[in-house]
Chains A and B, each alone.
Chain A
Amino acid sequence: MQPVETDILRDFSTLPDPMDVETYNFEHFRLKHLLHDIQRSLTNAGIAPNELAPDFILPSVGGETFRLSERRGKPVLLHFGSYT
């Protein structure tokens, strides 16, 4: 299958403070992580209201491939969560 272009690579490359794999996957939760979240919340990090939600393709637990832009026509509730 040919790789499909989505918005994520482009948008990730333009983030002001992208984290590398090790920093993103921290080994210990620390106060700085909470403060970082608060700072990101206060500075509206993320996608603003009325903006087009960046398209992405991700695998699902069910073994299928999910592409956000293919879901248009029905509202989507998109949650980001951790196992812990």
Chain B
Amino acid sequence: MFADWGNQVEFVDVLVRQAHPGPSVEAYRSLEQKVADAHRYVANEGIPWNVLIDDLAGMVHQVYGGLADPIYLIDVDGRVSLYVHWTNAPTLHMAIATLLRQDGRGVVLGGTNRFPHIGAAYTDGWKGLARGLPQSLVDMETSVPGSGVGAFVGHQLKPIIGSLTLKSRPLSSGKRLQAAAITGGIAGALFLGRRRSA
């Protein structure tokens, strides 16, 4: 995404709360903790764009909706062009291309995208979860059984399914069907595995 659009769009990340706390990534109790994590975030992920540090109460995050992984495309006049509730690169790719065709102004793709894009989360979500082990995994499995293990399995399968689930550009119809089948297969396998072990 950044390679495609970084010279025409300003990329900005705001660091929010710990989504999956654990022994070495505890819930923030001081701004110093958050600042230290922001530096680790940039270093570990190799992020070339601006990473901002919200205050301890997450005021900016809360005003902007407080969701776990949202992204806004803001136009050249400072107005919201698109609010994607669950970040999805192909959607943003289309949105940016459309916005630039409109001279950088106005609403694109209907202005809101609420679709929960779980393919990418299951393929790439383990990275964050792993930082909070073992508590983060226990919490995930207690809260949403299969979700933590699913993220681990997705991570292991990343070399195979990553080309479909982590594409930054929109998939063709055929590839979309393949991605849906793979995601459904993983979910089905996890469901059957849990039923057998119950």
The interface of chain A, by Cβ under 8 A from chain B, is 7-9, 11-12, 15, 18-21, 24-31, 33-34, 37, 40-42, 44-56, 58-62, 66, 68-69, 71-84
Contact = CB atoms under 8 A, between A and B. Distances in A.
B60 interface: yes
B9 A74 contact: yes
A48 B25 CA distance: 33
Given A48-B80, A61-B38, A79 B21 contact: no
A52 B79 CA distance: 4
Interface of B: 5, 8-22, 25-29, 37-42, 50-83, 85-87, 92, 96, 99-100, 104, 106-107, 110-112, 114, 128-129, 131-132, 135-136, 139-140, 142-144
A27 B69 contact: no
A73 B40 CA distance: 31
Contact of B62 (A15, A33, A50, A82): A15
**Chain B binding site: helix, strand, loop or mixed by DSSP?**
mixed
A67 B16 CA distance: 17
A71 B77 CA distance: 9
Given A7-B63, A78-B73, A79-B14, 14 more contacts: A44-B112, A46-B70, A46-B83, A47-B65, A49-B81, A51-B79, A60-B52, A61-B39, A71-B10, A79-B13, A80-B64, A80-B69, A83-B25, A84-B19
Nearest to A18: B62
Nearest to A42: B114
A8 B79 contact: no
A35 B67 CA distance: 11
A66 B50 contact: yes
A77 B96 contact: yes
A29 B143 contact: yes
A77 B78 contact: no
A6 to B, nearest CB: 9
11 contacts: A15-B62, A37-B66, A47-B64, A48-B80, A48-B83, A56-B60, A72-B76, A74-B104, A75-B74, A75-B76, A84-B25
Contacts of B57: 19-21, 24
